[in-house]
Structure 1
Amino acid sequence: MTRAGSHVRRTLADIRRGGGIRAALETSQPYDAADVMTSEVAAWSPGRDHPDRELGWARDTVTARARDLARNNGFAAGAVQREVDSVVGARFRPTSRPDWRALGIDRETAQAVGAQMDAAWRTWADDPLMRCDASRALDWGGLVALGYRTYFLEGDALAVLHWDEGATGFRTRLRVVDPDLLDNPQGMTDRIDMRRGVEIDEHGAALAYHFRRDHPSAMWGGQSWAFDRIERETEWGRPQIVHFFDKHRDGQSRGVSRLAPVSDALKMEDKYGRVELQAAVLSAILGVYVRSQLAPDEVSDLLSDGKFLALNDARRELIGANGLTFGGVRMPVLPPGDSIDTVKAERPGGSFEAFEAAVLRRIAAGLGTSYEQLAVDWSKTNYSSARAALVEIWRGWTARRVSFAQRWCAPIRLAVMEDAIDQGLVELPAGAPAFWEAPGAWLRAKWIGPGRGFVDPTKEAQAAAMRVSLGLSTMEDEAAELTGADYEDNLAQLSREIAEMPEGVLHPAQERFAELIGGEHASDRDAGPASTA
């Protein structure tokens, strides 16, 4: 073996042992996703960064673009508003269900405490003076919608719970904070215990939040570089800051806009649509044009009434007093080399509608909705496909509703219930655990938002009745899912309506349950006196 040959073999062995060099030289990989030789993916080389570094400066750009899309792009604005309306709506409210087994009390006592909690919550949330809002602009429905909208567009839903000691009644005040205000003090770079305004411990748990007193772009200035440090909670556990975001990786401290994966597609679709619309408008308003070697003002002067006849004496003698006519229509006579042409209206392009639909389907998939919902186009949808799409979309919206309720709304409700107990609006039974000993058991609740709605009301009402009759669901669940109603409120109202019915007249709710399940075949069953509720 020659010295050169030995050197070559050692070099090849070193290359094979080197992970990155080996991957670059080998022609194939066990996983196609790791192939770095093919032209399709050779230039695709993303890095692996810490989750907070991945956001970094890019978060501000993504957020600014998402806001711009929500302001100026109809599809983006509609997608945001539709999800806010569907997930939290205008009256996102809890129905208390204290865990009586965990608390060691009976069911009736737990229901009585739950009723007090619900009454106290309504007093705080539906205050017509809007004292639940620190800015006195919104009631609870507006606050929760603002919080969810901020989360959708900017990735973070932030709220500060203030305590107003001198207030009459509830002392708890809520402020939904602009995520732009959450930042490192004096603009310092991130460090091991500070990530974009979130102060964390060794486990990554948030300890405190640092807020600017004013927006960094405020025209009046003065407070944008003044910071307040607010601890996440008091020493006994009362929340002071509520922060909701989608945590995709361990170590992530801030969220990113839900529009981030589809922002480029939305912007390019918007440009394409605008260009097509402009072309269509031009085609519609520009019927004819003059092709000439003269300047525009000279052509306009020649085409003015009677002036083009003075072009030269010879043309006047030729066409006479009435000018050149064809089929009774007077034809303009232009200088030699000039002509009048018409615009052929060929826009929008023939493939515009199909192409836009394809782009919107891609965007809808990224947002977790359907093309029909995003484009508000139901022209090619039948009952089966609409129902299937609604089921898929509703599954995602339900998951987000539960997550938002547990991680954003529940801490706020905890603070309000502590306030209510302190005022004596809620009385806990003797011998039961104290509020702070078992907050999860006392505050167990079901959050009710907008109903799913109906594609075919008759079929879906019959299906709901069948689910209840088979024990697969409850009247409470069906009322909440289909219409967003509170079942206990429904029962109270039904009792009142039945009591007010004239003698001998049955309320519709007193008819037999089987009639709703069986529909038109119910009349074939043996008849008898209608049962009463």
Structure 2
Amino acid sequence: MDFAQVRQRAAVPGSPILNAFKAEREAARAMQSARSQPLPSRSGARGPFSAATSDRFTASWMAGQRAINDELRGDLDALRSRARDLGKNNDYARKFLRMVARNVVGANGFTLQARVQDAPAKPDSLANSAIEAAWFKWAKRGSAEITGRMSFADACRVMMMATARDGESLARIVRGSAAGNPEGLALQLLDVARLDTQRNQAPGRGRNAIIMGVEVDDYQRPLAYWLKDRADASTSSATRIPAGEILHIYVPEAAEQVRGIPWMHASMLSLHDLGEFNRSALLAARKGADTLGFITSPDGTAQGLGDMGGAEGEALQISAPGTYDVLPEGYSMQAYDSKYPNEVFDPFTKAILRRISSGLDVAYNGLANDLEGVNFSSIRAGVLEERDQWTTLQNWFIDAFLEPIYTEWFARAMTAGCITMPNGSALPIAKAAKFAAHEWQGRRWTWVDPLKDIEAARLEVKTGIASPQMIAARNGVDVEDVIASIAAFEAMVATSGVTLVDYSNGGSAPAADAAPAVSTALP
């Protein structure tokens, strides 16, 4: 049967071939119609995921999806402005920013520990000391930071506080003679508000994409930054700065994210509302303490007050210590007695602060300065989790900020001959790869009951699950520095003629009439 015969039979009404064609065509139409229709609403209905249900209880819950950069493009400037206002005027927000700087950077900043070795397990102590001394000299105030007002540790604290408050921070690398130091390297800290959030450009026609002031390639690798002349400039003019001159650091929270998000964003509304609530409660208590009242007349008018000693139209003040006034006939006194704050104020405030602490990822007791009802076990459990977060941020800051700076500083210092041995000779640049080995040590924390931790550390070393080096690093010190310090101390004792008595080992106490300079007891 040829094609013409098949076609002729299919045209006969009721033929199986025609019915099959019609059925297939109707199925295709139904499939196309289903694809073009929106997903059915499950209003009031329970689906596989209850959080996706759309009903009157979830009407205010956003269910749309946008790319992270599209969300930031519309909200970042407002978020940053409000975060800065909280940092200046909200008690708890300011405490949080100080906690970040104090726990991530610390009082002395990050400590460089050179790890140069002549052979495995044989450190080159002279080279290590020379490198650390040269870095310490560069990091002092007047050298590392271009204005001369901050040391490198100060700059680290400013960068960390800015990152926590604004979600990101900027530093420009100044090279050459403009740096004003032998290495030819300094930092200029910049206000991230200078990074033009409203400058956006689609790629094409030989142009790179610009996302909120950051020029990127096809892989979203930064190529340049568009900076306004001033942080508060509202003009569209901006200067293009190559990415090699800028350190732009932030903690990414999503793939393809180009700008940072203020760390307080999830708690900002609660911080603001709690601040307004506390202010209202304070004003209510203040007014209640003043024992205010109102004078009322029978018809609700203020006529006749002038006869009581005040001029017509002026407010009458009858409150004076130890004085009682008599009101005219027909007037009465309505007292204002504020009952607020009442007994629920404190637990309500604590509940909100616990929620805020969760959003900021810090322990409630530290943020609220509340140690009421805290014991050793409970505070240790909360602090351990918080310190894990601080350590995580320290590692991030080392990778994002310290390592790029140190890598360039080391190369320039070696080239300029700034790292010298005790005999005055510079480290040979031919062995730069050997001398580049190093580590960073962030600040560490002590405990309320250090004796238990010392005993635990001693047991760890005794059982072989930890080394003295690990214990020293856990305490924020270098074991080589500890050994050198002990050796120097023993040398001082040997030359001074002082006899040290360790009572814990059964040493006898000196006589009562013995000269105090001869015997000193160890704790």
Please give the range of the TM-score, normalised by the shorter of the 2 chains.
0.7 to 0.9
> Aligned AA for 2:56?
S
In structure 1, C-alpha distance between the alignment counterparts of 2:468 and 2:140, rounded to whole Å? 26
User: Where does residue 72 of structure 1 map in the other structure?
Assistant: 89
- Contact 1:212/1:228, CA 8 A, preserved across alignment: yes
User: Where does residue 413 of structure 1 map in the other structure?
Assistant: 406
Q: Deviations over 1:229-269 (max 9, x none)?
A: 33223xxxxxx322211112221111010011111101111
> Which one of the candidate residues 202, 206, 212 is aligned to 2:218?
202
- Contact 2:200/2:213, CA 8 A, preserved across alignment: no
SS in 2 for 1:160: strand
Alignment of 1:481-492 (within 5 A): 481-482=474-475, 484-492=476-484
In structure 2, C-alpha distance between the alignment counterparts of 1:330 and 1:285, rounded to whole Å? 15
Matched, 1:370 2:370: no
Summarize the Cα distance change of 1:25–1:466 in structure 2 as closer, same or farther, 3 Å threshold.
same
More deviation in 141-150 or 246-255? 246-255
- Contact 1:242/1:412, CA 8 A, preserved across alignment: no
In structure 1, C-alpha distance between the alignment counterparts of 2:170 and 2:184, rounded to whole Å? 20
Q: Which runs of 5+ in 1 are unaligned?
A: 1-7, 219-223, 234-239, 305-328, 516-531
More deviation in 17-26 or 411-420? 17-26
User: Where does residue 466 of structure 1 map in the other structure?
Assistant: 459
- Contact 1:15/1:22, CA 8 A, preserved across alignment: no
Q: Deviations over 1:431-467 (max 9, x none)?
A: 75x54xx9xx935412322x31322232233333333
User: Where does residue 250 of structure 1 map in the other structure?
Assistant: 255
Summarize the Cα distance change of 1:188–1:168 in structure 2 as closer, same or farther, 3 Å threshold.
closer
In structure 2, C-alpha distance between the alignment counterparts of 1:412 and 1:478, rounded to whole Å? 28
Aligned residues: 457
- Cα shift at 1:172: 0.6
User: Where does residue 202 of structure 2 map in the other structure?
Assistant: 191
User: Where does residue 120 of structure 1 map in the other structure?
Assistant: 134
SS in 2 for 1:506: strand
More deviation in 41-50 or 199-208? 41-50
Q: Deviations over 1:199-256 (max 9, x none)?
A: 11111111222222322349xxxxx7653333223xxxxxx32221111222111101
In structure 1, C-alpha distance between the alignment counterparts of 2:182 and 2:295, rounded to whole Å? 77
Summarize the Cα distance change of 1:297–1:243 in structure 2 as closer, same or farther, 3 Å threshold.
farther
More deviation in 245-254 or 339-348? 339-348
> Aligned AA for 1:199?
E
Alignment of 1:380-459 (within 5 A): 380-426=373-419, 435=433, 442-449=436-443, 451-459=444-452
SS in 2 for 1:96: strand
User: Where does residue 21 of structure 1 map in the other structure?
Assistant: 39
Matched, 1:355 2:327: no
Alignment of 1:259-270 (within 5 A): 259-270=264-275
In structure 1, C-alpha distance between the alignment counterparts of 2:50 and 2:184, rounded to whole Å? 60
In structure 2, C-alpha distance between the alignment counterparts of 1:405 and 1:376, rounded to whole Å? 29
In structure 1, C-alpha distance between the alignment counterparts of 2:94 and 2:103, rounded to whole Å? 14
Matched, 1:56 2:48: no
- Contact 2:460/2:466, CA 8 A, preserved across alignment: yes
In structure 2, C-alpha distance between the alignment counterparts of 1:190 and 1:430, rounded to whole Å? 44
SS in 2 for 1:56: helix
In structure 1, C-alpha distance between the alignment counterparts of 2:459 and 2:301, rounded to whole Å? 80
- Cα shift at 1:376: 0.6
Alignment of 1:124-143 (within 5 A): 124-127=138-141, 130-143=142-155
In structure 1, C-alpha distance between the alignment counterparts of 2:486 and 2:302, rounded to whole Å? 78
SS in 1 for 2:499: coil
Q: Which runs of 5+ in 2 are unaligned?
A: 1-25, 204-208, 311-321, 420-425, 508-521
Summarize the Cα distance change of 1:332–1:352 in structure 2 as closer, same or farther, 3 Å threshold.
same
- Cα shift at 1:91: 1.9
Paired-residue identity, %:
24
- Contact 1:80/1:149, CA 8 A, preserved across alignment: yes
- Contact 2:274/2:352, CA 8 A, preserved across alignment: yes
In structure 2, C-alpha distance between the alignment counterparts of 1:347 and 1:76, rounded to whole Å? 25
Matched, 1:33 2:42: no
Summarize the Cα distance change of 1:424–1:406 in structure 2 as closer, same or farther, 3 Å threshold.
same
> Aligned AA for 1:180?
A
Summarize the Cα distance change of 1:225–1:288 in structure 2 as closer, same or farther, 3 Å threshold.
closer
- Contact 2:441/2:477, CA 8 A, preserved across alignment: no
- Contact 2:196/2:226, CA 8 A, preserved across alignment: yes
Higher relative contact order (CA 8 A, sep 6+): 1
User: Where does residue 506 of structure 1 map in the other structure?
Assistant: 500
In structure 1, C-alpha distance between the alignment counterparts of 2:116 and 2:303, rounded to whole Å? 85
User: Where does residue 487 of structure 2 map in the other structure?
Assistant: 495
- Cα shift at 1:163: 0.9
In structure 2, C-alpha distance between the alignment counterparts of 1:9 and 1:363, rounded to whole Å? 56
- Cα shift at 1:495: 2.3
- Contact 2:109/2:153, CA 8 A, preserved across alignment: yes
Summarize the Cα distance change of 1:453–1:295 in structure 2 as closer, same or farther, 3 Å threshold.
farther
SS in 2 for 1:77: helix
User: Where does residue 310 of structure 1 map in the other structure?
Assistant: none
In structure 1, C-alpha distance between the alignment counterparts of 2:464 and 2:451, rounded to whole Å? 20
- Cα shift at 1:287: 5.1
Summarize the Cα distance change of 1:455–1:190 in structure 2 as closer, same or farther, 3 Å threshold.
farther
Q: Deviations over 1:72-102 (max 9, x none)?
A: 00011011111210111232223335486xx
Aligned-residue CA RMSD (Å): 3.4
In structure 1, C-alpha distance between the alignment counterparts of 2:43 and 2:332, rounded to whole Å? 66
In structure 1, C-alpha distance between the alignment counterparts of 2:129 and 2:474, rounded to whole Å? 21
- Cα shift at 1:68: 0.3
In structure 1, C-alpha distance between the alignment counterparts of 2:468 and 2:183, rounded to whole Å? 34
SS in 1 for 2:144: coil
Summarize the Cα distance change of 1:198–1:113 in structure 2 as closer, same or farther, 3 Å threshold.
farther
> Aligned AA for 1:382?
N
- Contact 2:213/2:226, CA 8 A, preserved across alignment: yes
Summarize the Cα distance change of 1:302–1:23 in structure 2 as closer, same or farther, 3 Å threshold.
closer
- Contact 1:116/1:425, CA 8 A, preserved across alignment: no
Summarize the Cα distance change of 1:32–1:352 in structure 2 as closer, same or farther, 3 Å threshold.
same
> Aligned AA for 2:500?
L
> Aligned AA for 1:448?
G
Matched, 1:172 2:188: no
SS in 1 for 2:267: helix
> Which one of the candidate residues 195, 217, 227 is aligned to 1:211?
227
More deviation in 161-170 or 358-367? 161-170
SS in 2 for 1:334: coil
